[in-house]
């Protein structure tokens, strides 16, 4: 009986300690469009904490349309991750985004 109880406590602790990468949102500022002309350029600049990154698109379920946003900076909350394949090293994938 002790073994089953210990196993159950361990499993519950393990489940509670797992974190979903989409669960936390960072504050960011979309500062504008990357208009440079190079093979890896394009997209939008976003400042998160003290770093500047670029992303190419927002999720389809987002209510932000960056092609029609007339004024930058745009203050947002976003969930993101680094791209697996980097070209200039500053590319991210936006998983979730919402205006602040």
Could you read off the pLDDT tens digit of each residue along the chain, which spans 100 residues? Answer: 666 655 555 565 545 455 444 458 999 999 999 999 998 999 999 999 999 999 999 999 999 988 876 689 999 999 999 999 889 999 999 999 999 9
Are 77 and 26 within 8 A, CB to CB? yes
What pLDDT score was predicted for residue 47?
98
Q: Please report the pLDDT score of residue 19 as a whole number.
A: 47
- Determine phi and psi for 80, rounding to 5 degrees: -150, 170
Please check whether residue 72 is in contact with residue 64, taking contact to mean a CB–CB distance below 8 angstroms.
no
Helix (H, G, I), strand (E, B) or coil at 76: strand
Cα–Cα distance measured from residue 36 to residue 76, given in angstroms and rounded to the nearest whole number: 23
Q: What's the farthest any 2 CA atoms get from each other in the chain?
A: 67
Q: What is the pLDDT of residue 84?
A: 93
Third-level CATH fold of 21-99: OB fold (Dihydrolipoamide Acetyltransferase, E2P) (2.40.50)
Q: Are 97 and 81 in contact (CB under 8 A)?
A: no
Q: What's the pLDDT at 24?
A: 86
């Amino acid at each position: 009986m002790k073994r089953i109880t210990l196993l159950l406590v361990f499993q519950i602790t393990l489940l509670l300690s797992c974190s979903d990468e989409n669960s936390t949102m960072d504050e960011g500022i979309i500062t504008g469009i990357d208009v440079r002309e190079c093979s890896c350029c394009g997209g939008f600049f976003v400042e998160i904490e003290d770093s500047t990154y670029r992303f190419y698109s927002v999720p389809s379920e987002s209510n932000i349309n960056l092609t029609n946003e007339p004024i930058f900076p745009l203050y947002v909350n976003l969930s993101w991750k680094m791209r697996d394949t980097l070209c200039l090293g500053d590319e991210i994938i936006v998983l979730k985004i919402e205006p602040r």
